[in-house]
Amino acid sequence: MGKAQMINSGAGRAIVNPRANLRVKPPAALRSIGSSYRDLSPTREEEVETALAERGPIDGGATPAEPAAHRVQIDAEGVRLSGDLVLPCCAHGVVVFAHGAGSNRLSPRNRPVALALNRAGIGTLRFDLLSPEEALDRANIFDIPLLKQRLLAATGWLAAQARTRDLPLGYFGARTGAAAALLAAAELGARVSAVVSRGGRPDLVLPALEQVTAPTLLIVGGYDWQVLELNREAQEYLRCPNRLSVVPQATHLFEEPGALEEVARLSVDWFAHSMRRPSPALEDTAKAAAHGR
């Protein structure tokens, strides 16, 4: 095989391959890759999550069939929040999702959990805790009392719907959303049948944990050492039936193969078991939310 040779070509040197008889002329001026971009700042996690959720399956890849979702609008003291409600046939409960800081209802980490719940006959409501304008203010993302009020608004909305008002209620929260879910559960008492926290921050609402009566499952990645320690400390404040489940070798976002599947399995088992016990109708929850109790 002939070797490529360097020859002079007036404006610069060209690379000649004697076998291919091709000439490659380098550009007169070389620039760095960064000079071709206007913005090289890091991409935020919520931007990645939204892009993945909107993109859907890549290259037509097969994914488990998802039940039809009904787009809903929830009024939270004048703020309109978008949501996706899925109700399987003969649903025996409904779980409201509270996404983590900087995410939204399209979070791809919540989708497999919601799908697993739907397949188990449990309805799901995934909604935006903040409006697009509110989400631009980072302070709102970590305003746990505000996020709690949005959860109560969604709960009141469910209580006003004929198909969901009599269903047992559960909360699934991730990160700061888990803190908001526990705060709402503490306020609603026995009207909440179960709570599941994924990589949550219950340490942000320690004084309220003693008031939570709903069976509570704390799920943390085995390699998420700091959050794991915070959950262990927070568990000491819980007086309700509770469990701390550690997913081996999983990090904070449960990105490892099989990690989210394990979160989904644990969540389905917890909600399915807890929702079998009697609980007050959601109609009472709506009245409590309306009166700010």
CATH number of the domain that 230 lies in?
3.40.50.1820
Residue 278's region, left for phi above 0, alpha for psi from -120 to 50, else beta, is: beta
Specify if 36 maps to a domain. no
Residues 266-280 as b or e (16 or more Cβ within 10 Å = b): bbbebbbebbeeebb
Q: Report pLDDT for 159.
A: 95
Give the whole-angstrom CA distance, residue 112 versus residue 129: 19
**Token couple for 4:** 């490529």
What domain range includes position 233? Answer: 69-290
Residue type, 243: R
Residue 245: phi and psi, rounded to 5, are -110, 125
- Using DSSP, how many helices (H) and how many strands (E) does the chain show? 10, 11
Specify if 47 maps to a domain. no
- Please give the DSSP secondary-structure letter assigned to residue 161: S
Q: Report pLDDT for 22.
A: 52
Sheet holding 123-127, edge to edge: 70-76, 79-86, 123-127, 94-98, 169-174, 194-198, 216-221, 242-247
DSSP secondary structure letters along 12-43: SEEEEETTTTEEEPPPSS---GGGG-S--PPP
- Residue of 197, 177, 184, 121 whose CA lies nearest to 153: 184
Beta bridge pairs of residue 219: 198, 245
Specify if 40 maps to a domain. no
Q: Report pLDDT for 99.
A: 84
Specify if 218 maps to a domain. yes
Specify if 179 maps to a domain. yes
Specify if 25 maps to a domain. no
**Token couple for 202:** 């219950």
Domains in the chain: how many in total? 1
Per-residue pLDDT of the chain (293 residues; tens, 9 = 90+): 444 444 444 444 544 455 555 555 655 655 655 555 555 555 544 444 444 444 443 333 334 456 788 899 999 888 999 899 999 988 999 999 998 766 667 678 888 999 999 999 999 999 998 888 888 888 888 999 999 999 999 999 999 999 999 999 999 999 999 999 999 999 999 999 999 999 999 999 999 999 999 999 999 999 999 999 999 999 999 999 999 999 999 999 899 999 999 999 999 999 999 998 544 445 454 455 445 44
Q: How far is CA 102 from CA 24, 98, 130, 204, 219, in A?
A: 47, 11, 10, 17, 20
Specify if 44 maps to a domain. no
Q: Report pLDDT for 41.
A: 56
Give the whole-angstrom CA distance, residue 107 versus residue 77: 24
Residue type, 129: L
Specify if 12 maps to a domain. no
